Amino acid sequence: MIGRRRGVELKTADQMRQMRRAGLVVAQAHAELAEAAAPGVTTGELDQLAREVLARNGASSSFLGYGAGFGLPPYPAVACISVNEEIVHGIPGERVLADGDLVSFDFGAIIGGWHGDGAVTFPAGEWTPERRRLSDVTRDALWAGIGAARLGGRVSDISHAVEEFIESCDDHEFGIVEEYTGHGIGSAMHQPPDVPNYGRPGRGPKIVEGLCLAVEPMITWGSAETATLDDEWTVVTRDSSDAAHWEHTITVTKRGLWVLTALDGGEEALGRLGLPFGPLAD
């Protein structure tokens, strides 16, 4: 750590390289799980695959056992798998995926004490056009948020860009979940500052070198009101409408953006958006 500003942990270049290693484990799990998801597979089996990705890479889980210090039952899995009307924190288990299910897979890995956290949404089998659209809009909102991060800017520039992107979608009225937010990340999974998915730009901590953030829009097809199930973890939409979740851990260097949980560091998506790709040299 090279310093703290208002409780914000700033990482050295070497620490961010470690976070990139953790992020690559997350990216690998995303790719393998999207491939493995199919009708007939249980969410517990997907969690087992995610455990194997950790083991193969000598990484540990950011999620397993989480929450015990906050009066929650310790989280019992390495992944959160949230299906259809489940928004986040779905616990993997006996549930058998059905054709057309919308599966949000959220996963965190630790290497050398440094965390990576990311989520993707993928189908089991074939999606309806509505489900595809919901996932695409959520993913694009994530990239709009990432694209708004620049050195000298403020954290809420990201929040504002996510909201603005969702508001600009005029084919449907999507809901933006407000109770759950992105966050700082580094030597712990959840650090200050919060990164909400709505709000006015120009607020919050300054975006400086060494700041690492998890940006994670959760978007609903219907109302954005949430409820938590009796397991104390699973968050669902109150109106049972579908929800999607996409997340990346990012940082901003002098050269541009570095998406630590994307296999290619974000190069391809940033290129399409005309944004600078700025990984640290090895």
Residues that bind ligand MF3 (CB under 6 A): 63, 66-67, 75, 80, 88-89, 106, 108, 117, 214
Taking CB within 5 to 8 Å according to partner kind, which of ligand MF3, Co ion, none is near residue 75? Answer: ligand MF3
**List 214, 250, 259, 275, residue binding Co ion (CB under 5 A):** 214
Nearest alpha carbon to residue 127 among 279, 254, 244, 267: 244
Taking CB within 5 to 8 Å according to partner kind, which of Co ion, ligand MF3, none is near residue 186? Answer: none
Taking CB within 5 to 8 Å according to partner kind, which of ligand MF3, Co ion, none is near residue 86? Answer: none
Q: How far is CA 114 from CA 108, 228, 247, in A?
A: 10, 29, 17
Helix extents (H) in the chain: 13-36, 43-56, 129-147, 155-167, 267-272
Taking CB within 5 to 8 Å according to partner kind, which of ligand MF3, Co ion, none is near residue 24? Answer: none
CA distance 12 to 55: 27
- By beta-carbon proximity to Co ion, the closer residue of 41 and 87 is 87
Stretch touching Co ion by CB under 5 A, among 18-26, 74-82, 110-118, 144-152 = 110-118
- DSSP annotation of 223 reads -
CA distance 214 to 195: 8
Taking CB within 5 to 8 Å according to partner kind, which of Co ion, ligand MF3, none is near residue 92? Answer: none
Q: How far is the CB of 78 from ligand MF3 (least distance, A)?
A: 8
Q: How many CA atoms lie within 13 A of 137 on its CB side?
A: 27
- By beta-carbon proximity to ligand MF3, the closer residue of 163 and 216 is 216
**List 86, 117, 140, 242, residue binding Co ion (CB under 5 A):** 117
Interactions with Co ion, residue window 249-278 (CB under 5 A)? none
Taking CB within 5 to 8 Å according to partner kind, which of ligand MF3, Co ion, none is near residue 66? Answer: ligand MF3
CA distance 48 to 66: 18
CA distance 219 to 178: 10
Token reading at 168: 């600009």
CB atoms within 10 A of CB 120: 26
- By beta-carbon proximity to ligand MF3, the closer residue of 88 and 141 is 88
Give the interface with Co ion as residue ranges (CB under 5 A).
117, 214
